[in-house]
Amino acid sequence: NAGVMQNPRHLVRRRGQEARLRCSPMKGHSHVYWYRQLPEEGLKFMVYLQKENIIDESGMPKERFSAEFPKEGPSILRIQQVVRGDSAAYFCASSPGQLTTNYGYTFGSGTRLTVV
Amino acid sequence: QQQVKQSPQSLIVQKGGISIINCAYENTAFDYFPWYQQFPGKGPALLIAIRPDVSEKKEGRFTISFNKSAKQFSLHIMDSQPGDSATYFCAAQAYGQNFVFGPGTRLSVLP
For residue range B44-53, list pLDDT tens digits in order. Answer: 999 999 998 8
Chain A positions contacting chain B at CB under 8 Å are 4, 6, 33, 35, 41-45, 48, 56, 91, 93, 98-101, 103-110
What does the pLDDT average to over A52-63?
Answer: 92
Average pLDDT over residues B54-83: 96
Nearest residue of chain B to residue A39 (CA atoms)? B103
- What's the rounded Cα separation, in Å, for the pair A99 and B94? 9
Characterise A101 by phi-psi region: left (phi > 0), alpha (psi -120 to 50), beta (else).
alpha
CA distance A87 to A116: 9
Q: What pLDDT is recorded for position A30? A: 86
Nearest chain A residue to B10 by CA: give it: A40
Q: What is the pLDDT of residue A96?
A: 78
Q: Which residues of A touch B46 (CB under 8 A)?
A: 103-106
Confidence band for A40, pLDDT divided at 50, 70 and 90: confident
Quick check: helix, strand or coil at residue B106?
A: strand
Where would I find the H helices in chain B?
Answer: none
Would you call A110 and B101 a contact, using CB atoms and an 8 Å cutoff? no
